[in-house]
Structure 1
């Protein structure tokens, strides 16, 4: 089935004006001022784009597909994500990972969920490992996981966090070497997603290894960096060539001293690193509220994919352009995970991942993933296997 979006204002993510978009066999075939459906061969379903904005499907580079949490006891283990949690919030490409809990959560289960999301209709990749070293893996080796398991593009590690390991220079250097060699062999991005805690060292260990080695800064993707205690170090790393990743915030004030990703996007532009900044949802991950000395959890929330569009709308309300707010969660995010040849932009030959927003409210109306119409008029018309 071919899909033809008629008369939407296209943001690719740059503004292209009013266009028609033709999608067939999961790919964007054409973006033109007028495409006449009567001249097309085969069945065509027309989607009315009048009064709507067409944007690339969102690329969410930090999700806990199989849930996370558990820091407040077993009852605080968060649930798995579902297909419609993604599509109803415009996410058509996502990266899954583990977090604090690699005892009751396993990389093998994450792999199965990643494959399941792909079977259900969105694009999903993953990273191996978790907070700790040695990294939990499927094959027994970080290098082998990345080299030989298709969805695996990197590894997870935590620094500057009371829940994470104390990482020595030798340990970090060995991990970077494994990731780099595997990425070359498998022609993958090869990243280390660095959970950046609120501890004393911040990103010092990353800078230390870069100063004494020939490793590239782009191997590291520090995340949760939209905090006053971390932002300056993250900007320094981005200026060296790394991608840095903020975490979407639901509250206008940022909450708990955090910087909203709308404000962080503006700050990235001011710092000249806007092409190296992304933000993600941390969907499925726990959002613990600690007591004053961070020894006991006194409250618990869960990250959700809707934070991405909330931040986009917030940024536009604050005076940024839609293109500026979309870049971190489309083109930049696709580059971060090595899918820039088919994701993150509306271009002929790219995957048919298109989201339609109401032009006035910027609320989602439709989601198309790999050429399949998943959400129509705000309702999920394709659901996950057990939804």
Structure 2
């Protein structure tokens, strides 16, 4: 009971220190609010308001239908231009896409001659160009096929020269029907920020004690290194856990209107287990670093690869086999795995408990290493 009491009161001291540090407090608020909202909107991989111009040299019913199908929010209203203005407008980046419809296009299509349709793309806007070209190709192909089908009886040659698809592909998208990037990036932003803040807050707590000279006081007091470490783990973990919950409810569900399929309490429980690991590694790094700049350098060496290679940005299957095998020993990979399973696919504890257990085990190892470093510091202080 004395150990629990010491851990509790040392943790409350840590909480008071945190709430008096307005820089760290502001960092936590910003990281789990505005930063998540901006990441959800600014990192979108969908086409939005693509600028389109067209040269209609056919002026037929088909050409007018083809232009009319470019609608917001994917495209802006298409603008008619002259054939001689295409190069100049593309060079000045006035439009990302310019569609040129040749003369007699409708007649040649209905006759089965397979006429060429030109689409000019400004690929300096790489993401918009890559996505937009695929959209345009699909939109125009669908509109041409629909137009030809409506006029099938008028032109018998059409059925002789245009081959029909041998099969119809039916695609069903699970868990994210419109493949909206914000649904993924916002939640993964929270996951990545958990690692960042847990290491920084726990490490900063130790560095602050050393810079203020209170670490020597703690080490000579009748408290053990275990009690000191656990007090900082539960205090900083509590702050981040509350921030994660509020971010999911206010920013993700409220502001971004993103549905959460699975159990939020189960995810919060898993996040708390991961915070045990992340704060433990933050304490371990702080026992090595002598100052906050050194802690920042160690964070770059340790946490940045964990976040980048965890599967939150690129699936493990897309990585080289050796690298993906190594990352399976990283708790951040398991954190991303059970976060996606719970929040996106509605998985239960029966599915994610192996990830919970692995993260807790590795967290215990790093806590053990941190305590060994604490004892070494205590011997030096003695």
TM-score > 0.5 by shorter chain: no
**TM-score normalised over the length of structure 2:** 0.23
The structure in which a higher percent of residues are strand is 1
